[in-house]
């Protein structure tokens, strides 16, 4: 609907809920990235200690399930706390608008004056926005909240778990499908390529330089894999496992 408004750039995102959608997309990319790195580090570490498939599969499956549950739980708690705070602020603002509409109008006018508008313009803007949707006007101007951007904890938890699982499947397949002698190199290559893709996607979402963001993710993931593989190899050589 916002695309029909004159003056808006057609290639730029506009309209209600866009911030929420971008945050969800960014969270999904980061969740997939976590799944790739954490499960890859586990299976590569175990593969460094033993060439047997059963321990690698067991460790990878445990890492996938445990990581997905942990991501979901963390996201649920975080979004629940944020949602409770936002609902409390919305309820407070609703009550104030019902009990003291004139004071709230004066407050909204003052906020727009503080943004550089003249007294007359600020008052006119406040009056028109109040007539259109008083609660939305006050929430956005005073608190930076849009009601349509308040996230659902259950949806956030499910999306986080799903993104982690999708990311974790790649290193699982990369370590399990190839012959034993090339399992680790294939996994390294697959993980580096996948991390490059998630790094570039994350940079694209945030509007930051792609090369720098991609290198950060790729180098960090490569170091994690190298460290766990070295530890696994040392443990395997020591006879402790």
Query: Residue 122 in contact with residue 113, Cβ under 8 Å?
Result: yes
The answer as to whether 13 is a domain residue is no
Give pTM, 2 decimals. 0.74
The answer as to whether 164 is a domain residue is yes
The answer as to whether 2 is a domain residue is no
> 3-class SS at 71?
helix
Q: For residue 186, give its domain range.
A: 18-238
Number of structural domains (the chain) is 1
Reported as a single tens digit per residue, the pLDDT across 34-48 is 999 999 999 999 999
Reported as a single tens digit per residue, the pLDDT across 216-226 is 889 999 999 99
The answer as to whether 37 is a domain residue is yes
The answer as to whether 4 is a domain residue is no
Counting residues of the chain whose pLDDT is more than 90, the rounded percentage is 38
| Long-range Cβ pairs for the range 225-229 (8 Å, 24+) | 225/37, 225/40, 225/41, 225/44, 225/187, 225/188, 225/191, 227/41, 228/41, 228/42, 228/44, 228/45, 228/48, 229/44, 229/45, 229/47, 229/48, 229/184
Question: In this structure, how many other beta carbons lie within 10 angstroms of the beta carbon of residue 178?
Answer: 15
């Amino acid at each position: 609907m916002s695309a029909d408004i004159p003056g808006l750039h057609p290639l730029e995102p506009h309209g209600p809920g866009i911030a929420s959608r971008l945050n969800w997309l960014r969270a999904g990319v980061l969740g997939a990235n976590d799944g790739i790195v954490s499960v890859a580090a586990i299976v590569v570490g175990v593969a460094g200690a033993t060439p047997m498939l059963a321990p690698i599969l067991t460790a990878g499956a445990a890492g996938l399930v445990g990581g997905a549950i942990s991501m979901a739980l963390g996201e649920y708690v975080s979004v629940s706390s944020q949602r409770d705070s936002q609902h409390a602020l919305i309820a407070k603002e609703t009550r104030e608008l019902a009990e003291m509409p004139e004071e709230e109008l004066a407050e909204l006018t003052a906020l727009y004056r503080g943004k550089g508008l003249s007294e007359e313009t600020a008052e006119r803007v406040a009056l028109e926005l109040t007539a259109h949707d008083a609660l939305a006007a006050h929430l956005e101007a005073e608190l930076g909240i849009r009601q349509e951007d308040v996230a659902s904890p259950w949806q956030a938890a499910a999306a986080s778990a799903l993104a982690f699982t999708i990311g974790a499947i790649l290193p699982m397949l990369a370590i399990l499908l190839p012959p034993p002698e090339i399992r680790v190199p294939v996994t390294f290559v697959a993980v580096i390529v996948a991390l490059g893709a998630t790094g570039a996607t994350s940079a694209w979402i945030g509007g930051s330089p792609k090369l720098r963001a991609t290198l950060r993710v790729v180098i960090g993931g490569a170091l994690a894999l190298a460290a766990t593989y070295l530890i696994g190899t040392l443990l395997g050589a020591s006879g402790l496992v």
